[in-house]
Amino acid sequence: MLRNYKMTICYDGTRYDGWQKQKNTENTIQGKLEALLSRMAGREISVHGSGRTDAGVHALGQTANFRMDTELSEEALLAAVNGYLPEDIGVTSLRTASDRFHSRLSAVGKVYRYRLYVGSGKPVFDRKYVWQLSEMPDIDKMREAAAFLTGQHDFRAFCGNRHMKKSTVRRIDGIEIEKSPGGERIDLVFEGNGFLQNMVRILTGTLVECGLGLRDPGEAGRALASGERSLAGQTAPARGLTLMEVKY
């Protein structure tokens, strides 16, 4: 019997070319999952993710679904998949879903975290998961800029695809900016109904520039209104970004 399975996946994206399967590389998260499940099923299996993550971006809560006919229980299938996946990809849950469930089309929101490390010392053990800054940004200035970016807007200025033909309107429900007790780490948490290509990284780059005094907080709002990518900030490095949760 062909069943629709929903799985939650975590991965260290450092050595991968992103989530989406591509013709010019086999080194993608989706590609690894599809190859494994297809071998197990003896036929081609398609894995549908909630959305793409860029090369180098990580995930704690990516969601995907696939259809498969197997006599294995959910627990046995989960164990088998994890047994064959590389050590930097793991499936944290796997269960049968309704036939109508689709990881992308059924999603109502996503949560991303971007992590900054501030200091002159080398974050040796966190180097793959943070963007290191040499000086502490002004958190209040970052929050002031973030206030311009919450709500439903056209985020074309914060999209990495200059030739985007589909709607660039998205809703950001909240941007939280918190400093760790020791002061070395700053977490930016973005929650919204969807995000464009590179959007969180460009938002982060803009907020950091506001915090460092390289631009006025009001410039975030002006960039948003203009729709011009050149008026927004830099694209933050992929390594600091993690997809935390997909909401349904």
Which of 204, 222, 230 is closest to 153 using CA atoms?
A: 222
Compute the CA torsion angle 74, 79, 81, 85 (nearest 10 deg). Answer: 160
- CA-CA distance, 188 to 178, in Å (whole number)? 7
Cβ neighbours around 182 below 10 Å, total: 7
- Phi, psi at residue 99, to the nearest 5°? -60, -25
Residue from 243, 133, 145, 216 nearest 179 by CA: 133
- Number of Cβ within 10 Å of residue 2's Cβ equals 8
- For tokens 């793959």, the residue is 128
Task: For the chain, state the CA radius of gyration.
Answer: 19
Tell me, what amino acid is at 35? A
Write the burial class of residue 90 (CB in 10 Å: 0-12 exposed, 13-18 middle, 19+ buried). middle
Residues with catalytic annotation? Answer: 54
Phi then psi for residue 68, to 5 deg, are -155, 145
36, containing H or E segment:
helix 29-41
Spatial distance between the Cα atoms of 101 and 17, rounded to a whole number of angstroms:
27
